[in-house]
């Protein structure tokens, strides 16, 4: 499922470039320009994709390693 999440992120990066209604001035709900509405929707979809990333691609291995006994051996 991890790969699905990464594929979704790539798809999101592609559909962000919505050149197909570059010159569209339609007002959605009577006040929201279409280009702005689409990108507001994009923000919501991004939140959804990241929720899936947490579910399917969470870095549990690194989390467990970090939360095991502290080493504190870095140069300071």
Partner 1 sequence: MIHAPSLIALGQAAEPATRTPLYIIIVYMLALFALGWVSSRMFRGSSKDFFVASQSIGPFMLLMSVFGTTMTAFALVGSTGKAFSLGIGTYGLMASSSGLIHTACFFLVGIRMWSFGKKYGYVTQIQFFRDRFESKALGYLMFPILVGLIIPYLLVGLMGAGNYIFGVTRGMFPGTFAAGAVPAWLSGLVICCVVLFYVFFGGVRSAVWANTFQTIVFMVMGLVGFLVIADTLGGLSEASAKALEHSPEKLQREGLMTVPHFISYMLVPLSVGMFPHLFQHWLTARSAKSFRLTVIAHPICIMIVWVPCILIGIWAAGLYAAGDLTVPPLPNGNANPNAVLSAMVKKFMDSPILIGLFSAGVLAAIMSSLDSQFVCIGSMFTNDFVVPLKGKVSDSQKVWLGRGFIVFIVLITYVISLFETKSVFNLGVWCFSGFAALFPIAFASVYWKRVTTAGVFASVIATVITWAMFIYDALGRENGEQWFGVKEHGEYLIAGVMPVTFIFLASVVALIGVSLVTKAPKQSTIDRFFPTNKA
* Contacts with partner 1, residue ranges (CB under 8 A): 9, 12-13, 16-19, 22-25, 27, 29-33, 35-36, 39-40, 42-44, 46-47, 49-51, 53-54, 59, 61-63, 65-67, 70-76
Quick one: which of 17, 19, 24, 7 has its CA closest to 42? 17
| Closer Cβ to partner 1, 3 or 47, answer by number | 47
| Closer Cβ to partner 1, 4 or 36, answer by number | 36
Helix axes 34-56, 2-15, angle to 10 degrees: 170
Measured in residues, the chain has a length of 76
């Amino acid at each position: 499922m991890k790969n699905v999440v990464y594929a979704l992120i790539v798809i999101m990066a592609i559909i962000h470039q919505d050149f197909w209604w570059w010159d569209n001035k339609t007002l959605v709900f009577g006040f929201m320009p279409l280009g702005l509405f689409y990108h507001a929707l994009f923000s919501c979809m991004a939140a959804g994709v990241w929720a899936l990333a947490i579910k399917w691609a969470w870095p549990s291995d690194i989390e467990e390693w970090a939360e095991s006994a502290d080493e504190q051996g870095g140069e300071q």
